[in-house]
Structures are given as C-alpha cells and as structure tokens.
Structure 1
Amino acid sequence: MVVIRGRNRGRGADFGAATHQDAATDGLLQVPSGRWLFTGSDGLVTAYASGPEGLIRWTETPSGAFTGPESIEVPRWVGPLTLSRSGEGYVHFAGLRWPVGGGPAHVVVSAQFQSGRGLMDWYDLGVPAAPGVEGEDTVVFGPVVVVNPVTGGVHVLVSLRAGGIVRRVRSGEGRWGRWKSVTTDPYTGEFAAAMPAGGSLEVLAVGRAGVDRWVGASGGRFELRDRFTTPIADGTQTAVETGPKRTTYFWRYPGDDSLVAWRAQSRTSQGGLMALGGAGGGGRPGAARTTIGGYDCTVLAQRGGHGGVEVSAYVTENEGYGAWWASLGETGPGSSAPQVAVDGAGRIVVAVLDKAGDLLVARQDLTQDGLAFGGWTRHGGADAGSVGPWQR
C-alpha cells in the first residue's frame, strides 16, 4: 500500500481572428495547455510558462534550487505554448507567432537539448491548412506537439474550424512533411494527443457525437477506433503512457469535478471509464509514472476542493482498486493546477505556479516510508515582477 504524507509550508482559443491587441496577455503568464514540468537528460527539472513576449523558464541547479523566472523572447509571439519531451530528454516546443508583414498566425517549433541552455532557432511551419479545403481556415485549438519516443520524429497537430485536425511531421532525419489530415471531422474544443512506445499516434477529441479516439493506421491514415458518450470538463484532459502501446487518458467529470480515467480495452489491461475520486477539485491533473516500493505506480496531483494540492498514487492500470487522495498543503489562492515529474534522483516533484507568478515545488522525501513529501519551497527571484502573475 502507498502511504502519502505532506507537510504544509490554458486553453484553446480562436486565433484565426485574433489581433495583436486581443492576443496579448497584458503582462500575465499563461500556463501551457498540457505538460509544463520536465526532467532533462541531466536529471534536472525545468518548469515552463508562456509570457507576453515568449517563454518563461525556471531551471533546477545541481544544488536543488531553481534559477528564474528567465524570459526567452520570441519575436512576434502569440502563444499558446505546448511542450513534449523526447526519450533523450530533449524538450520540444510549439506555438504561434505573427508573420512579418501581417496575416494569420504561423505555427512555429523549437527544441531545447540541455537544461538551462538556449533553444534552437524557431522553425516556421506556416499557416495550417487542411488538404482540399479552400480559403483561410481558423485555428480553434493548438498547436500540440508530440514526440515519437522511438524514432525521435516530431508531430505537430492543430484543430481547424472547417478542416478538422491536421498535422505536420518531422522525420527522425529532420525533414518536415506537408500538412495532412488526421480527421476532417470538426472539433472545436481541446484535444489530447499521445504516442506510446511501439504504438501509433492517437488523438482523443470531444465532438458533437461524443468522445472520439483516432489512431494512426497504415499509409498515414487515421482510423476512428473508439466513440463513447461522456461529459468532459474542457481543459482538463491529459494523457499518460501506461503500458506497451497503451495510453490512459485522464479528465475531470463536470458533474462533481471528480477525476476519471479512460483506456481502450485490451487483452492485457482493463479498459473503459474508471472513477478516481477527487471530487470538488479543479483544473487539469498532473500525472507521471514512477516506481514506489518496487511497484510501477501512476501518481496524480490535483488542485483540491479546499484550494490546496492533493496527491494520489496507485499501481499502474489498476484504477479499479480505487485511488486515495492526501493533501500536500496550501499553495495560496489563485495557484495553478499542479504538475508532476520525476527528478534525476528518482524523487517525485510536484509544482504549481502561484498567483504572483512564482514557482512552488514539493519533493518526495525518500528517507520516509511510503510516499512522503517535504514542504513547499518558493522560487521567484528579482525578475518575478517583470513577468507578472499567471493566467488560466
């Protein structure tokens, strides 16, 4: 049994009609729509946010402290920011920025190969367009970046109002293909994308007919593998690889704000909808896999109904046995939903951004039995005031 102890110490938007003024964040940070806490190949943890002029970054030092917030300017930046980590520990970025001379926002991508170091030059993927759809389309969600854990190929996906979900792919050799359709069905809300090791790229999207899971098939086509009806609170979806070629999706049920998990049925694991408790919480759950007491476990973190952070852990793909939640203590009013990562020492790291724009971190205490955490530590610095508070 896992014992949890603690001591108290964004979203899709219509960018096709955006102007320079209404796309600005007014000095606020924006929490990325997916994961924003990653461990590099050197074992150091980095947190990211989107600012009005580009990226904001907090980087762990070998001593365990964090430098930042550091602002990394991206000319003509629009946002939003999404990130993905490769098997080598490289972090890939995708966002939108205005082209020189005006016009619709372009999708741009970059990568960081080592913690705290500079980013690669931003590569412009142009204006996303669905094959066969004439005229300008509107980006309603994305871009979302996913990295193939085996080949290192990069997939960038965007949801268009008329053209459905489209993607561009960079091969492991660095060559970018054209925009191609994942599905021509329109999805105007947030979607989640994942690529488990040995599996195909898959997309979970909420449409008029229900929740759809599209999976890559031969010849670059995508097949509708699952369609089911369930309400999903928009902006709460996250995906975790939980087994060979298997992805588990988590989201919040709007009826009581509890968390649920869903996984496609297979011969080796239970599938379907599974309740995880945590009623009364809010925002996207943080999720990660790690070994606890010799067991492969999934760790979840959420902003609880009382306002503080709650954590749960269970043996991976054993949701049917239930999830028990324990508090890590208060992080102050207005804090973001938490993220979870595993650092180079094998400790679980939970992080939030508070109302002032500072990074708060709680780490697993490996000297204690079960899953025990130390108190929250704050990492802001002299530059915190220059980037302002964060924005949902």
Structure 2
Amino acid sequence: MNGDWLIRGRDGRLSVYLTSDDAVLCRTERAPGGPWDGPRRVGGDQRVHPVLAVGQGADGYAHLTSWRPTVKGESGLVHSTHFRPLLAPLDWTPVGHPNKKGGLTGPPAVAVDAEGRAYVFVRNAGTGLSMAAQKEKGGWEPWRDLKGKGVEGPPVAVTGESGRVEAYAAVADGILYWRQDEPGAQPVLEEAVETPVRPGTLRALATSPQHTTLFYTDESGDVRAWRPGSKPASVLTAAGPGPVAAIRCELDGHDCTLLAQRAAGGRVAFAAYPTEQESSGAWWTESGPPLPDDAEVALAVDHEDRVVAATLSLSTGALHLTRRKDEPGLALEAWRKA
C-alpha cells in the first residue's frame, strides 16, 4: 500500500484501507473512538489487483487508486472516492494506462489538490513518471509524461500547505522531485538530488507553508530528511527495513514531526523531533507486541486530536491500534485489536 491508509474522515471516524487477493477493503469506526465494523468491499464488484494508493483532500474525502485486469495480460488504473466513512465508496472508475495499454507498470501514488482534484502518478513503461489529473467537472485529463528516467519502487505524492501537488521518486543514484508552478498546472521536474536511497522507503509530508519533507532510508541504514533546495539531513538510524510513517502533531505545545516504523525485532518504534529541525536529534522508543514481518504501520490524529498509531498485517488483516494518553510526552495506551 502507498500513502496514508489510516485516515480520519469528515465526521471524525477513523477508517483503514487494505488489500485482499482481488479487492480493496475498508474498515471504519462505528462512532469516533468506538468499536470497528468488519471489512467492506470498496468500489463495487469489480476485481482489482492487490495494489492500493490512498490520498486525502482538505475536504476529508479519501481518494483510492488501484490496478484492475482488463483484457488478458493487460491492466488499467481505477479510482474511487470515499466521501464519509459510514457511506459506501463510489464504484471504481477507469483512469486508463500511462502507455494507453499494457500491463502493470508499478504501484501508483495519489494526492489531492486544494480544489479536491485527485492526481494519480505511476511509473510508465519507459521508467519515467506519468500523471493523470481529475477534471473540475468530472472525468480525467489525458495522461501526461512528466519525464525522468530510471524510476525505482513506488513514487510518493503529497499536497503542500499551499494546496499544490508535489511528487518524489527514487532512481538508481538519487531522488527526483516534481512540483506544480501554480494550482491546476502540470507538475514539472524541478530538482534532483544525488543520494544513496533505498527504493520503497519514501514518505512525504507537508511540514511548513514553504516546504514538504521527504523521508527515506539510505544505503547505510539511516533515515534521512530532504527538503528541495537544501541537502538531505540524517535524522536517526532506521529501526527496521521498511518505510517510516510520519505525521505532524502537537507534543507538549510544540509543533513536532512524529515518525513510526516496524523495528527489526518486530515492535513499533516511535521517534519525535521539532518539525524541520532534524539537527535537534531524535531517538526510537519501542512499543507494543512483536508484529509479523508483513505488518505495516500508520499514524493519524483522531476526533480529539490525539495521535493514533495502527498496525496492519497484510497476510491476516489483523488491525491493532493505540492512542496517546492525556499525559506529557508520547505516553501511549495499551495496544488493542480492532
């Protein structure tokens, strides 16, 4: 999965999205902070591949993108919108293929601009990055080749505080960065940085009115933070092999960035530091029971603006959550199965 698969809807309820063999599933709180419903199928009866990208707009709507089989040996991208957690998401609608037709080219990413339009990014057959954007009055603009070459692993897409959409992708010797010059415009390749990045570890977060920050793991095993226009900065040694989850939140009155990652020993590791101040230092604190190797970690803020952490086993669908206590620091409640 790519993006924030744990999100808070407009009504304060949390939802999680997960994949099965031929469907995307959704689980939702019955009431904010309350018990959870069982899994529901997203997008009607259409079969999709076990691939999912999730993005959320300022309006609270979730945008989901996956691949579905079309004719033998070929697939196309599809999109669904989930307006409110207790409502059924819309049926899957076709977005097409970055090369007009063909097989899966890679995991997609999706971001939503200030006007609520979804932007779907995916590697194309030429190993560059392509994008399709929603029209204001429904439907999709044609696929655009955003250039670049040698994209490895899933790209990530993020909407800055300005409402403009940005995208990042790993290549063999570094990271490529695309950004909209103005709202509604096609993102353009603005910058590249040479850095030893591990594909599949990218995570982007809006961190100020001027910047988004990309977190990734380098070949030495350090989590690094990069804001275009500057040099990558080391944050701390990675707790485990996968990507970090990241969120901005208030801790003891300070604007902080909270990171979470499945540690090598299986537990969830947390680290926090003042936003955009990587030089302040950060260190991991582990929490909860050991998790399966395929478990993913996500962060969100609930209806009471408390940090929520979730873990999801992709093989079993087991979902566990914890919330921050009303205490100084990052004290967490006991982990509970939903």
TM-score, scaled to structure 1? 0.79
Maintained 8 Å contact 1:139/1:158: no
Residues 113-148 of structure 1, C-alpha deviations (whole Å, 9 max, x = no match)? 111320112111222227xxxxx5554323221100
**Aligned: 1:58 with 2:27:** yes
Q: Which amino acid aligns with 2:160?
A: P
Alignment pair present for 1:141 and 2:141: no
Q: What is the aligned residue count?
A: 334
CA shift digits 1:199-251 (9 cap, x unpaired): 53222122245322122336945443322221222211110000114110111
Structure 2 CA distance, aligned partners of 1:207 and 1:282? 18
Q: Distance in 1 between matches of 2:69 and 2:189?
A: 34
Q: Which residue of 2 aligns with 1:40?
A: 9
Match of 1:286 among 245, 250, 253: 245
- 1:185 aligns with 149
1:128 lines up with 2:87 in the alignment: no
CA 1:92 to 1:226, structure 2 compared with 1: closer, same or farther past 3 Å? same
Cα distance in 2 between the residues matched to 1:221 and 1:69: 36
Amino acid corresponding to residue 259 of structure 1 in structure 2:
V
Contact 1:193/1:239 (<8 A) preserved:
yes
Contact 1:297 1:313 in 2 (8 A): yes
User: Which segments of 5 or more consecutive residues in structure 2 lack a partner in the other structure?
Assistant: none
Taking the TM superposition and a 5 Å limit, the aligned residue runs for 1:216-227 are: 216-217=180-181, 220-227=185-192
2:302 aligns with one of 343, 355, 361:
343
1:94-105 to structure 2, matched below 5 A, reads: 94-99=65-70, 101-102=71-72, 104-105=74-75
How far did 1:163 drift?
6.4
* Counterpart secondary structure, 1:204: strand
Secondary structure at the counterpart of residue 108 of structure 2: strand
Corresponding residue for residue 273 of structure 2: 314
Aligned-partner SS, 1:217: coil
Q: 1:175 to 1:356 in 2, by over 3 A?
A: closer
Query: What value does the CA root-mean-square deviation take over the aligned residues?
Result: 2.2
Fraction of identical pairs, as percent: 29
Point out the structure with max Rg over C-alpha.
1
SS of residue in 2 equivalent to 1:320: helix
Partner residue, 1:90: 61
Superposed CA offset, 1:231-277 (max 9, x none):
22221111000011411011122323x31111123xxxxx4212121
Counterpart among 317, 320, 324 of residue 357 in structure 1: 317
Q: Kindly state the Cα deviation for residue 328 of structure 1 after the two structures are TM-superposed.
A: 1.4
Give the TM-score of the pair, scaled to structure 2.
Answer: 0.91
Distance in 2, Cα, partners of 1:33 & 1:56:
15
2:136 alignment partner, one of 172, 189, 193: 172
Whole-Å separation in 1 of the counterparts to 2:121 and 2:262 = 28
Contact 1:260 1:273 in 2 (8 A): yes
Give the SS at the match of 1:272: coil
User: Equivalent residue of 2:107, what SS?
Assistant: strand
Q: Compare 209-218 and 101-110 and name the one that shifted more.
A: 209-218
Deviates more, 1:319-328 or 1:217-226: 217-226
Q: 1:208 to 1:235 in 2, by over 3 A?
A: closer
Residue 168 to residue 83, structure 1, CA distance change in 2 (3 Å): same
Tell me if the contact between 1:36 and 1:339 (Cα under 8 Å) persists in the aligned partners. Answer: yes
